[in-house]
Amino acid sequence: PAMLGILGGGQLGSMFTVAAKTMGYRVTVLDPDPNAPAARFADCHLCAPFDDVNALAKLAQCAAVTTEFENVNAQAMRDLAQHTRVSPSGDCVAIAQNRIAEKSWIRKAGLQTAPYQVIEKLDDINESSLAYLSGILKTATLGYDGKGQIRVHTLTELREAFQTHGGVPCVLEKMVDLRAEISVVVCRLNGEQIATFDPAENIHENGILAYSLVPARLSENLQNQARKMAVRLAHELNYVGVLAVEMFVVGETQDLIVNEIAPRPHNSGHHTIDACLFSQFEQQVRLMCGLVPADTRLLQPCCMANILGDVWGDEGSEPNWGAVLDNPLAHLHLYGKMQARVGRKMGHLTVLADDATTAYEFAKNIRAKLEKKIACSAKIRQPERL
């Protein structure tokens, strides 16, 4: 069977690997972490830095290569593309990994973003910056889960924040009147073969995605508009693969603006494993191999909830998995990460119900029970620990 390659072996790479293996492919994962979640399932784990020449040479021999995160070396992806099929392209990844490039590009594609100012040096902060206050100063690169973001209200705070960020290039984004957050996962092979999953309604806690509800509790009209915008971006990028587009619903008038894009499957698409006809990871496998996108339909309203390291005990004791597994409509997914840390994504659960609000209530309940850190009941097999 053909060997598929993936840059990155975190939870996204892990779920990709399971999907690919299920479909009969072999998988090579490049990840410097010896305990990378995807290594549990991969045929070959290249445990090396992402720019390791020998490892990249091995990936170049795969039938097709994809990525699970945006902070790979875009040039390495372009180089790989000289030897094998690489999707998404290094160019698309380069845009997604830099907020400055990303935002200007989104606007060039004719879509709205929050008002923003590029701040590359202290001098860029002046009277004109006042128009973007109160705002959020975000580092241009490497931020995720709200890391690399500082809220600022005055020019003085803005200057301080820029220095706190170490003087690296940033984007100052005006705080918008957020009414809801949604995301659309697009599956695109080419100009004709394109499909979108139902928009997910995302609820964050402390800057980290906590819940995704599907269907989103927004009008059909707004949801269709969101799908159209996501499709437009995918076409503009001539994108091949799975693309996630995060959007904000802003103000009384419920305007849709684009927040950011991710050139890969997305946390808010994890419900597709259990609640859709095909998962976003099967889609990733199909598209990187040049196959048409599969049907994106939702089979059952649901709510996905992330499980963070916060619910582990101080001594590393595990949460009460019975809180999830004793429920006949809840799926548990654990990523097999060795170390639980506050804010670290360790797994997720997906609750199915007759409607998204009911699923959300269920999921909140389960999450609250997990937090109680009751000792595991003996009948539940604990995930392996090394």
Numbered residues of the known binding site for ATP: 99, 138, 143-149, 173-176, 181, 204, 259-260
Q: Which of 64, 71, 35, 65 is nearest to 50 (CA)?
A: 71
Q: Which amino acid belongs to residue 145?
A: D
Among 33, 40, 81, 146, binds ligand ATP (CB under 6 A): 146
Nearer to ligand ATP, 260 or 282 (CB): 260
259 binds ligand ATP (CB under 6 A): yes
Count interface residues toward Mg ion (CB under 5 A): 2
Among 1, 34, 207, 251, indicate the residue that binds ligand ATP (CB under 6 A).
207
Identity of the amino acid at 110: G
Q: What angle is formed at CA 371 by the lines to CA 370 and CA 375, rounded to 5 degrees?
A: 65
Could you say which of Mg ion, ligand ATP, none residue 43 binds, taking C-beta under 5 to 8 angstroms by partner kind?
A: none
What ranges in 109-174 are assigned the alpha helix state H? 155-164
Q: How far is the CB of 96 from Mg ion (least distance, A)?
A: 9
Q: Reduced to 3 states, what is the DSSP secondary structure of residue 37?
A: helix
347 touching ligand ATP, by CB under 6 A:
no
Assess 274 for contact with ligand ATP (CB under 6 A): no
Residue 175 interacting with ligand ATP (CB under 6 A): yes
Instruction: State phi, psi for 247 to the nearest 5 degrees.
Output: -130, 155
Amino acid 349 reads L
3-state secondary structure of 254: coil
Q: 112-141: which residues touch ligand ATP (CB under 6 A)?
A: 114, 136, 138
Minimum distance from residue 189 beta carbon to Mg ion (Å) = 25
Q: Quick one: what does residue 329 bind among Mg ion, ligand ATP, none, with the CB cut-off 5 to 8 Å set by partner type?
A: none
Residues 368 and 304: their CA atoms lie apart, in Å, by 14
Which run of H or E residues covers position 15? helix 11-22
Report which of 244, 245, 246, 230 is spatially closest to residue 283, judged by C-alpha positions.
244
Which residues of this protein are in contact with ligand ATP, per CB under 6 A? 114, 136, 138, 143-147, 173, 175-176, 178, 181, 204, 207, 246, 259-260
* Contacts to Mg ion by CB under 5 A: 246, 260
